[in-house]
Amino acid sequence: MGVLDGLKPERVFHYFEEICNIPHGSGNTSAIAKYCVSFAKEMGLECISDKFNNVLIRKPAYTGRENCKPLLLQGHLDMVCEKNFDYDPKFDFSKDPLRLSLMDDYVFAKGTTLGGDDGIAVAYMLAILEDDTIVHPELECLFTSDEEAGMEGMKGFDASAVKARRMINIDNEKEGEILVSSAGGRKVKCHIPVRYNNVSGMSYDIIICGLLGGHSGSEIDKYRGNANLLMGRLLHYLSEKLDYQLYYLKGGLQDNAIPREAKASVLIDPKDSAYFEDLITEFEKTVINEYRQIENNITIYCEAGDITEEHVLSPKTKERIIFLLMTIPDGIAKMCPESQNIVQTSSNAGIMRLRQDYFSLIISIRSSISSEKSAMSDKIKYLTETIGGEYIIESDYPAWEYKEVSPLRDMVSKAYVELFDKEPRVTSIHAGLECGLIYDKLNGIDIVSIGPDIEDIHTPKEKLNISSTERTWRLLLKIMEMCD
């Protein structure tokens, strides 16, 4: 018996649990893509798959709706893989199923992200394709891969096979919203070459944890703490107070998730240990005060180790890394002039790693204005190269721009009003969606994005609202029934 058995809509939650049993983190979507292909074959449906693990399944129109224009439904197969700092160390996203649980009106995964973003879209589409009683025009369901890793699946997708010129993207996380535009983005990497010296001293691990994190697009306006940059600030603070040597530095798991945890390892003179511990405590108090209305569980502490000899960063290398972490643009750069509650441009220093030959900082840049995205990229490039680093653009995707005329938007709004007797919120999102890429590939396609309530995406606190999932299901059925 499944954990989600008995939840409604039953087949949607059946498929959602099936998906959660298949590892499907970004870069690991071959198994879930094969699952979708096998599903199509079992249903006798036309199916196209490609080397990028994209899958397009086509279903003929319901009897009497053959003359209606086709409709494309779209969602992505991959999920962001994050787990709590103290969660089961043996849990492996690449091979283990998610451990689902229920609480009140929510589904969540124990200790990890849930992948409701965007597993619920996959579940909706499979349930629709399976059910021959649903009234709909000719349907095309597009399951794309690696959306969370630079939208690589959609970038490689050959859209010439798509018939539809109207599309519902099911990758919004707020019920009652109709998204009509989204930000473009760029993933960049700053490489700083490093040098080491052998030094002896008393080792300490410094840990920053307990931050809320969240999606670096939709949650960036919450002004939550960035563990990577707080660690950089702490290392700078320590540098002004005492001598220490740095030999380990790591933080964040995804470029598009606000980092919740970071760790550094240092060597100090044993006689400074009490003073060092006092400095860490004092810094924690300072940060807790600064984020008192935003973060409620910040923890910054140190753990003493042994007297040891380590391969530590040279003083100049350490200085360059701290300089980068102290000066890199992060968070909101500009709000939209037309709507002050929507972010226009931002950046997120999502992943930092100290390797044997270099230090890397991976940053997600977002903007609804392409020129501002480029300007932010240039600023980070200039900063990186000034301190002798290398700047690499790893991926780039366009914004999905607002259309003045959208028959699909009007129809979805009407369906929402008829079902729920209230107007939906028609708005934009600072997060990146695949809509911009599909719009570029199918010039003029009419697009909206909807979805059920999913809270705290890209964090282990992620949870999917059950009642909202059912209401959004009814909205999808209503929209398909109204399609002409």
Give catalytic residue positions: 78, 147
Q: Which residues on neighbouring strands pair with residue 62, listed in sequence order?
A: none
Identify which of 312, 334, 317, 208 has the alpha carbon closest to the alpha carbon of residue 267.
312
Question: 83 near 111, Cβ under 8 Å?
Answer: yes
Look at the chain and count its residues: 484
Identify which of 246, 155, 252, 260 has the alpha carbon closest to the alpha carbon of residue 205.
246
Neighbour-count burial of 272, counting CB atoms closer than 10 A to its CB (0-12 exposed, 13-18 middle, 19+ buried)? middle
The DSSP 8-state label assigned to residue 278 in this structure reads H
CA 281-287-292 angle, to 5 degrees, is: 120
CA-derived radius of gyration, the chain = 24
Question: 316 near 239, Cβ under 8 Å?
Answer: no
Question: 147 near 153, Cβ under 8 Å?
Answer: yes
Distance CA 278, CA 329 (A): 30
- Provide the token pair at 3: 């954990």
Distance CA 284, CA 293 (A): 15
Distance CA 475, CA 466 (A): 14
Cβ neighbours around 377 below 10 Å, total = 19
The DSSP 8-state label assigned to residue 25 in this structure reads B
Cβ neighbours around 285 below 10 Å, total = 11
Identify which of 176, 180, 181, 179 has the alpha carbon closest to the alpha carbon of residue 424.
176
Sign of CA dihedral 454, 460, 461, 467: positive
Identify which of 157, 189, 140 has the alpha carbon closest to the alpha carbon of residue 53.
157
H helices present in 354-425, as ranges:
370-386, 407-420
